[in-house]
């Protein structure tokens, strides 16, 4: 019966597509249906029931299958897009300026997010001593303590070295947390090499460029085909998330959950203020990025959102193609405002009083912001990246890391909002960078209909 409900919902979304209902409306319909189905399964069977476990496995064929398809095209898309973007640059100097602005905005906003996390934790008077640990939480804390050994053995220079690829083919498999950045670096070298060849051997460069453009066209067509499935993927992902949510855990840690979403909401407003100060309409921005944020929220994968992120920046916001490719790729592993900014800062403030540190002291806050800015490089763009970021920050400040394990019951719920903020931050960096470099297409940005045609056709 539960599978039949999913199939009927999918048929409804197909009917909406056949009637040319807008992509955004289909995405939000899928979100609403997913929530309704998830609530029904919670109330009818309970989050821990065998029925829910079996049903969500079947639903995962649609939900997790969609995420896997997106992950499948991430590396080819990033690689070909970066190479093509550099080849099409008018001046090779633009690459350094573009990258500098994107990374600068991402890291700066991550540090601001850390400050927001500190303020929110203090306002809600969060304290690690208030959280009681059950067996699952204790096991998780012990696991993180073990994993801390691997993190502590790496200095900041060693973490930076992890970005540099030694085997680009291995990184194309997504084998490491920094694989996406490593592929970006390798692709940048290929693009710069083509620019050099163009000056000395223009015929060979022209052949390579023609081939890259052809591959890019095919990859973008694959992206379009996969993005058409977004409403169905969001439907199944949301149904699974709501059905398996631990309501008791949320009630017990409700104060932390509320504080987390207040911090995320404040940072979203700061993003919109940045857009406003840049002379752009923040409501237009919000409307056009909403489908991307909806996917990020339900999937909890910044890396998986890269194809939809790039498409929205180019086709909806009028961001330059090269900037869109760079910001979406960098934003998946650098300067994540939610996972690498707000979350570690909140944990640090909660732990500080328990080990005799005043979280209000300027020295503590400045040190925390700087460490978060540096450590925000290389956070994995999939679920669990926030835990890795917390391990780095807490260990760098000589704080116990077991607290991250105590939040296991509400981790998925908070991670949904964090991922949406991460992706929004990458799109803000792309939009602002494109405007600074005078490459923003204002006509596309302000055009209400410039949203979905590449996805729906």
Q: Which residues pair with 334 in a beta bridge?
A: 377
The pLDDT of residue 372 is above 90: no
The pLDDT of residue 451 is above 70: no
Residue 4 CB neighbours (<10 A): 8
Q: Which residue has the higher pLDDT, 306 or 157?
A: 306
The pLDDT of residue 136 is above 50: no
pLDDT of residue 390: 77
Quick check: 404 and 391 in contact, CB under 8 A?
A: yes
For the stretch 197-210, pLDDT in tens is 888 898 998 899 89
pLDDT of residue 36: 93
pLDDT of residue 376: 75
Which token pair is 225? 């085909």
Average pLDDT over all residues of the chain: 83
DSSP secondary structure of 161-217 = HTTS-S-HHHHTTT-STTHHHHHHHHHHHHHHHHHHHHHH-HHHHHHHHHHHHHHHH
pLDDT of residue 198: 85
Residue 158 CB neighbours (<10 A): 9
Quick check: 340 and 375 in contact, CB under 8 A?
A: yes
Average confidence (pLDDT) over 99-113 = 92
pLDDT of residue 216: 84
What is the residue whose two structure tokens read 């929004």? Answer: 424
Domain that holds residue 106: 2-456
The pLDDT of residue 454 is above 90: no
For the stretch 380-424, pLDDT in tens is 545 456 777 777 787 777 777 666 556 666 777 888 899 999 999
Residue 7, classified by CB atoms within 10 Å of its CB into exposed (0-12), middle (13-18) or buried (19+), is exposed
Q: How far apart are CA 456 and CA 452, in angstroms?
A: 6
User: What angle is formed at CA 250 by the lines to CA 245 and CA 252, rounded to 5 degrees?
Assistant: 145
CA-to-CA dists, residue 29 to 76, 151, 224, 294, 414, angstroms: 30, 42, 20, 11, 22
Q: How far apart are CA 224 and CA 218, in angstroms?
A: 10
Q: Which residue has the higher pLDDT, 256 or 451?
A: 256
pLDDT of residue 177: 65
CA-to-CA dists, residue 162 to 105, 180, 330, angstroms: 22, 11, 15
CATH assignment of the domain containing 72: 1.10.3860.10
Helices (H), 88-155: 93-123, 135-152
CA atoms in the 13 A half-sphere facing the CB of 350:
29
For the stretch 13-59, pLDDT in tens is 999 988 988 887 888 899 899 989 988 998 888 878 898 889 999 99
The pLDDT of residue 427 is above 80: yes
Average confidence (pLDDT) over 99-128 = 91
Q: Which residues contact 403 (CB under 8 A, 6 or more apart)?
A: 128, 131, 141, 347, 350, 351, 394
Count how many domains the chain has.
1
Instruction: Compute the CA torsion angle 355, 408, 74, 37 (nearest 10 deg).
Output: -150
Q: Which residue has the higher pLDDT, 375 or 343?
A: 343
pLDDT of residue 141: 46
Q: How far apart are CA 85 and CA 74, in angstroms?
A: 16
The pLDDT of residue 90 is above 70: no
Which token pair is 1? 């019966």
Q: How far apart are CA 455 and CA 33, in angstroms?
A: 21
């Amino acid at each position: 019966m539960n599978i039949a409900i999913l199939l009927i919902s999918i048929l409804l979304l197909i009917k909406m597509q056949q009637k040319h209902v807008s992509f955004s409306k289909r995405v939000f319909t899928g979100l609403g249906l997913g929530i309704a189905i998830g609530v029904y399964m919670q109330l009818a069977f309970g989050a821990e029931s065998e029925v829910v476990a079996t049903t969500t496995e079947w639903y995962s064929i649609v939900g997790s299958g969609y995420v896997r398809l997106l992950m499948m095209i991430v590396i080819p898309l990033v690689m070909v897009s970066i190479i093509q973007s550099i080849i099409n640059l008018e001046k090779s100097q633009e690459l350094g300026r573009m990258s500098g602005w994107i990374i600068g905005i991402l890291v700066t906003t991550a540090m601001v997010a850390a400050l927001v996390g500190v303020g929110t934790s203090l306002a809600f008077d969060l304290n690690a001593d208030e959280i009681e640990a059950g067996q699952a939480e204790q096991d998780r804390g012990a696991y993180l303590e073990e994993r801390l050994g691997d993190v502590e053995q790496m200095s900041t220079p060693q973490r930076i070295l992890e970005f540099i690829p030694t085997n680009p083919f291995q990184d194309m498999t997504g084998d490491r947390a920094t694989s996406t950045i490593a592929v970006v670096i390798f692709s940048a070298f290929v693009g710069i090499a083509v620019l050099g060849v163009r000056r000395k051997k223009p015929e060979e460069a022209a052949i390579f460029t023609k081939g890259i453009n052809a591959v890019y066209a095919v990859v973008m067509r694959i992206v379009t085909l996969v993005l058409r499935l977004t409403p169905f993927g969001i439907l199944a992902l949301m149904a699974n998330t709501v059905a398996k949510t631990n309501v008791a855990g949320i009630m017990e840690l409700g104060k932390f959950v509320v504080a987390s979403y207040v911090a995320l909401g404040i940072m979203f407003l700061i993003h919109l203020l940045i857009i406003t100060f840049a002379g752009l309409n923040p409501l237009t921005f919000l409307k056009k990025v909403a489908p991307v944020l909806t996917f990020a929220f339900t999937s909890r994968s910044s890396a998986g959102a890269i194809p939809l992120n790039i498409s929205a920046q180019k086709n909806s916001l009028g961001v330059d193609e090269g900037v869109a490719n760079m910001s979406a790729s960098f934003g998946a592993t650098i300067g994540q405002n939610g996972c690498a900014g707000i979350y570690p800062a909140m944990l640090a403030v909660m732990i500080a009083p328990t080990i005799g540190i005043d979280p209000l002291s300027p020295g503590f806050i400045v040190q925390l912001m700087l460490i978060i800015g540096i450590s925000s490089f290389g956070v994995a763009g999939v679920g669990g990246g926030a835990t890795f970021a917390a391990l780095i920050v807490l260990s760098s400040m000589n704080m116990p890391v077991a607290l991250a394990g105590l939040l296991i019951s509400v981790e998925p719920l908070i991670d949904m909002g964090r991922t949406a903020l991460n992706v929004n931050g990458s799109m803000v960096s792309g939009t602002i960078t494109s405007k600074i470099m005078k490459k923003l297409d204002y006509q596309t940005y302000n055009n209400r209909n410039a949203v979905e045609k590449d996805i729906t056709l």
